[in-house]
Amino acid sequence: MNDSMSRRELLKNTGRVAAATALAGVMIPQHVYAAEDNTIRLVLIGCGGRGTGAAQNALSVNNGPIKLVGMADVFPNRLNSSYQAIKGQFADKVDVPDDHKFIGFDGYKKAMDLLRPGDVAIMTTPVAFRWVHFTYAIQKDLNVFMEKPTTVDGPTTRKMLALAQESVKKNLKVGVGLMCRHCTARRELFDRIQGGQIGDLLMLRGYRMAGPTAHAFCGPVPANMSELLYQIQEFHAFLWASGGAVSDFLIHNIDEMCWMKDAWPVECKASGGRHYRGDYVDQNFDSYAMEYTFPDGSKAFMNGRCEEGCHQEFATYVHGTKGCAVVSQAGHAPSKARIYKGQKFDKENLAWSFPPPEPNPYQLEWDHLIAAIRSNTPYNEAERGAKASLVTSMGRMAAHTGQVITYDQILNCEHEFAPDVDKLTLDGPAPLIADAKGRYPVPQPGLNKTREY
C-alpha cells in the first residue's frame, strides 16, 4: 500500500473510534485540554452551503462537549444566514457574539485567534485559500477539518504536501472532506476488493455527467459587484478559485477509483471541449474524458459533463478479472456498494451488497475526527487529500493542454494560478482580470501545451 491510509491503520482507527466513543466524556483528550474544561471549540471559515453543513455535523458529534465560537466569511449575508441555520438547530452549542463574526480576507486569523491549541478550525471556503488558512492553523497548533479539493495546481500541492508533513510532526488531527473514504459500506467493499473477491483490477470507471452544475457556468461581472468578489461567489467558473468543474466535481469519483485501486495514477491523457457557450465567460470545458494509467498499467476512465439534454450518470465502477463492483451510484449516499460475478451488473450475478441503512458519511468523517482528537490518536488526511487533488488536476491539465501529463509533471509544474492569494483585500484586484469584452482566458489544447491558460 503506498501512502493512502493502510487497512491495518483503518482497522486500528476503527477500533480506537469505538473505544473513544465508549469512553465519551471520560477521557481527557490532548494535553491542551484542562481537566476542568474538555470542550472542543470550533470556528467556521467559509460560511456557505458546505460550511454550514460541516458545522452542523461537527456539533452533532456525540462524545463530549463541543461548541462553535467564531465565524468568518467575505460576505456578511452568507455569514448571517449560516449563523441563523446553525443556531436554529444547535442553540446551546453556538456561542458566537457579533464581535466573533469576522468579514474580510483576514477574518480567518481573527477567528482562529479565538481558539486554544487542540481546538478545530473548519475550512470551507473555495479551495484557493486552503494553504493560507492551513498555514496559520498549524502555527496556532489547531486541529483542522478542510473541504476537498485542497489544491488546484502543482505549486499549491507542493505547499500543501509540505504543510501536511508539518502538521503530522505536530501531531495535529486533520480531516479532509473526501467523506466517501469514511463510508462504512465502501470500506467493506475496499476490504473485499483488496482481499481478492473480484480478482485483479484491470479497469475502473467514473461518471459525473449532469446538466449545468453550481457555478460552473457564469456570465460577465455585473456592474454593481467587484470582480474579485464575483469570482469568489462564482468560484467553480475560475480555475484559480476552485480548480474548475474538474477539481470541484470530479475529485470524488477520481479519489474513489484511486482508493479502490490502492494506488495513485502515474499519467493521464484526456480530451474535452466547449460547446453552446453563449455569453458564459467561465474557464471550464463542458465535457471531459480522462484516461488515467496506474503503475501496473491498468486504467481508470473518468467522464465529466455539464450539458443539458445529454445522458446523465453519477457513478464509480470497478472491473476485476473475476467480477465487478459498484462503488457509488446515483450520488454519494447511500453508496449502493455491490459486488457482481462476471462483468455484468445483473441481479442474478449479485454476489454482495451492503445491508441498508448506511450511516451518513458526512457525519462519519466528523465522528472519526473528533474521536481521534479526544483519544489523541494519530489522524491526518492532509497528504492524501493533496494527492487526490493533484491527480485530479493532472487530468484537468491533460484535457486543457491536449498533452499526456505525468504525475511528476503536474507536481513540478510552475504555473501557480493565484500566487498572491494570501494578499487579497476586499477592494483590491482579482487574480484574473477580464479583457475589454469581459472575457477570461480559456484553455486551448494543442496551442497552449504547457499552461492551462
Residues found near ligand NAD in the complex (CB under 6 A): 45-51, 72-75, 78, 105, 107-108, 124-127, 129, 147-148, 177, 179, 232, 248
Residues 6 or more apart whose CB falls under 8 angstroms from that of 150 comprise: 127, 130, 134, 160, 176, 382, 385, 386, 389
Q: Which is nearer to ligand NAD, 94 or 237 (CB)?
A: 237
Q: Which is nearer to ligand NAD, 82 or 401 (CB)?
A: 82
Q: Taking the complex as a whole, how short is the minimal distance between the CB of residue 112 and ligand NAD, in angstroms?
A: 12
Q: Taking the complex as a whole, how short is the minimal distance between the CB of residue 2 and ligand NAD, in angstroms?
A: 23
Q: Which is nearer to ligand NAD, 81 or 343 (CB)?
A: 81
Residue 174's identity, in one-letter code, is V
Residue number with the smallest Cβ distance to ligand NAD:
48
Separation CA 445–CA 118 (nearest Å): 46
Q: Taking the complex as a whole, how short is the minimal distance between the CB of residue 21 and ligand NAD, in angstroms?
A: 23
Q: Taking the complex as a whole, how short is the minimal distance between the CB of residue 419 and ligand NAD, in angstroms?
A: 16
Q: Taking the complex as a whole, how short is the minimal distance between the CB of residue 236 and ligand NAD, in angstroms?
A: 8
Q: Taking the complex as a whole, how short is the minimal distance between the CB of residue 68 and ligand NAD, in angstroms?
A: 15
Q: Which is nearer to ligand NAD, 39 or 213 (CB)?
A: 213
Q: Taking the complex as a whole, how short is the minimal distance between the CB of residue 122 and ligand NAD, in angstroms?
A: 10
Nearest to 286 by CA among 314, 308, 259: 308
Q: Which is nearer to ligand NAD, 46 or 154 (CB)?
A: 46
Q: Taking the complex as a whole, how short is the minimal distance between the CB of residue 252 and ligand NAD, in angstroms?
A: 7
Q: Taking the complex as a whole, how short is the minimal distance between the CB of residue 32 and ligand NAD, in angstroms?
A: 25
**Half-sphere exposure of residue 376: CA atoms within 13 angstroms, side-chain side:** 11
Place of cell 474513489: 256
Q: Which is nearer to ligand NAD, 173 or 215 (CB)?
A: 215
Q: Taking the complex as a whole, how short is the minimal distance between the CB of residue 303 and ligand NAD, in angstroms?
A: 19
Q: Taking the complex as a whole, how short is the minimal distance between the CB of residue 82 and ligand NAD, in angstroms?
A: 7
231: which 3 cell numbers?
469570482
Q: Which is nearer to ligand NAD, 45 or 237 (CB)?
A: 45
Instruction: Find how far residue 265's CA is from the centre of its chain.
Output: 18
Q: Which is nearer to ligand NAD, 94 or 201 (CB)?
A: 94
For the chain, what is the HEC assignment?
Answer: CCCCCCHHHHHHHHHHHHHHHHCCCCCCCCCCCCCCCCCEEEEEECCCHHHHHHHHHHHCCCCCCEEEEEEEECCHHHHHHHHHHHHHHCHHHECCCHHHEEECCCHHHHHHCCCCCCCEEEECCCHHHHHHHHHHHHHCCCEEEECCCCCCCHHHHHHHHHHHHHHHHCCCCEEECCHHHHCHHHHHHHHHHHCCCCCCEEEEEEEEEECCCCCCCCCCCCCCCCHHHHHHHCHHHCHHHHCHHHHHHHHHHHHHHHHHHCCCCCEEEEEEECCCCCCCCCCCCCEEEEEEECCCCCEEEEEEEECCCCCCEEEEEEEECCEEEEEEECCCCCCCCEEEECCCCCHHHEEEECCCCCCCHHHHHHHHHHHHHHHCCCCECHHHHHHHHHHHHHHHHHHHHCCCEEHHHHHHCCCCCCCCHHHCCCCCCCCCCCCCCCCCCCCCCCCCCCCCC
Q: Which is nearer to ligand NAD, 233 or 448 (CB)?
A: 233
Q: Which is nearer to ligand NAD, 178 or 324 (CB)?
A: 178
Q: Which is nearer to ligand NAD, 267 or 367 (CB)?
A: 367
